[in-house]
Amino acid sequence: MKEDKNSAKEQEETVESKEQIHAPEAEEGNNSEEELTDIEKKDLEIQALNDKYLRIYSEFDNFRRRTQKEKLELYKTAGEDLFKELLPVMDDFERAKKSMEDSQDYDSLKVGVDLIYNKLLHLFKTNGVEPMNDVIGNDFDSEIHEAITQVPASDKKLKGKVVDVVEQGYTLKEKVIRFAKVVVGK
């Protein structure tokens, strides 16, 4: 009986030791399964983030292309509105030219040209283009004037001042778009 008890005890110890040996393996198996699921979760998360990144990158690339295309179209047709407004002035010039061929009345021709000039000047002003007025007698300013030549001044007061305007200068919303070509006294 002692042997039976000893052998039973040995069997229990063997079973317990086997359970202890296998228990950590079972826990490791659970851990590895958890680790695999965590790794799989991380992989799925990485894939989702990569997909999101690619979609956003594609959207941005499409936006950039569309913007470039719109900008190119804008450059092509930038002056369209202005030219549409200039067409009636061109029509007036064509009528004046035809009138000059048919008539010898210079007074009516002068009146017609003045009307066209005023119409064009009004069109300029409505679009923000202003002529530089009252330039003669002012000090020469290289930021708004372009000196064509210098002439001897008849009076010392005219030295360094604008004596004559060869071409009118224009500003577009206070920015010089054409410098006034002037003659300066020396």
Domain locations in the chain as residue ranges: 1-77, 79-127, 129-186
Q: At what angle do helices 106-126 and 80-102 cross, to 10 degrees?
A: 180
Q: Which CATH number fits domain 129-186: 2.60.120.1440, 2.30.22.10, 3.40.50.300, 1.10.3210.10?
A: 2.30.22.10
What is residue 23's predicted lDDT score, i.e. its pLDDT?
46
What Rg value do the Cα atoms of the chain yield, rounded? 46
What is residue 12's predicted lDDT score, i.e. its pLDDT?
57
Tokens of 45: 């998360």
What is residue 28's predicted lDDT score, i.e. its pLDDT?
47
Q: Is 85 exposed, middle or buried (0-12, 13-18, 19+ CB in 10 A)?
A: middle
Q: What is the pLDDT along the chain (186 residues), one digit of tens a residue?
A: 445 555 555 555 554 554 454 444 444 445 566 667 889 999 999 999 999 999 999 999 999 999 999 998 888 777 788 888 889 888 988 888 888 887 777 788 888 889 999 999 998 898 889 988 878 888 888 888 999 988 888 888 888 888 888 988 999 888 998 999 999 988
What is residue 127's predicted lDDT score, i.e. its pLDDT?
86
* 179 within 8 A of 146, measured Cβ to Cβ: yes
Positive or negative torsion for Cα 147, 148, 152, 154: negative
What is residue 21's predicted lDDT score, i.e. its pLDDT?
47
Nearest to 135 by CA among 181, 72, 68, 90: 181
